[in-house]
Structure 1
Amino acid sequence: MQRQISAVLYGVSAILIMAIASSLIFATILRLSQLTEHSIQLLVTIISFFSLFIGGYITGRKGKEKGLLLGAFTGIIYSSIIFLYQFLGYDSIFSLKQLIFHLCYIATAMLGSVLGVNLSGGKTKES
């Protein structure tokens, strides 16, 4: 149980680090160029999905079993953090479009976690 909790925390931490890093990069690009937020929206979405996949993969590698469950927890915790930030910081809830995106984020984290478990060799027999 301790390994699974640790794995989920590693995955969520990786997602948040990638999100912060990509936010800083895009903010700098937007500030120093003529690009608009609308023009890079697709790229931001792709990077978001990639971050969730990598975070799920890290969770699966660390957890070594129950990839679907660990990936779901990773995606749910990430979405909960974003929801709380939006609700407490901006006093608004998810729109239908955001809800669909976050359900897809959870599914992407689950897929990454399943691959992480399967590529790590699964649960090892401990002596």
Structure 2
Amino acid sequence: MVSLILKFTSTREVSLQYIVTALSFIALFGGGFLSGGKRKEKGWLIGGVTGLIYSLVVFLFQYLGYDKLFSFDQIIYHSCYTLIAMMGGILGVNIATNNNSRTA
């Protein structure tokens, strides 16, 4: 969606930076939440793995496609992405566990 906005309008990437960052946080929290809810245990671990896989994919795309390593700012962002996914995993486990204990 964002790429279509950039392609067909005069909007510059810099003006959408915070929106893309917010969407990334929401997506990683949701991914951690879903993976933690499905696993039903060790939400911090499965959420962390979700965040690390996301960071690895972005890193490989950037390194192999553009021949650039992560900058210091990107390292901070991806550390926060991993932490957000961990929080989502923890919450997903707790909500899944509470729903199961209510139905039993």
Give the TM-score taking structure 1 as reference length. 0.74
Is residue 89 from structure 1 mapped to residue 81 from structure 2 by the alignment? no
Is residue 109 from structure 1 mapped to residue 85 from structure 2 by the alignment? yes
1:1-127 counterparts in 2 under 5 A? 25-121=1-97
Residue identity matched to 1:32? F
Q: CA deviation at 1:94?
A: 0.4
Q: CA deviation at 1:34?
A: 2.5
- Give 5+ residue unaligned stretches, structure 2: none
Offset from partner CA, 1:54-110 (integer Å, 9 cap, x none): 000011111100011111111111111111111111111100000000000000000
Residue identity matched to 1:91? D
- Give 5+ residue unaligned stretches, structure 1: 1-24
In structure 1, C-alpha distance between the alignment counterparts of 2:3 and 2:48, rounded to whole Å: 30
Q: Percent same amino acid at aligned positions?
A: 47
Q: CA deviation at 1:33?
A: 2.1
Report SS of the residue matched to 1:120: helix
| Structure 1 stretches of 4+ moved >6 Å | none
How many residue pairs get aligned? The number is 99
CA RMSD of aligned residues (A): 1.3
In structure 2, C-alpha distance between the alignment counterparts of 1:52 and 1:38, rounded to whole Å: 22
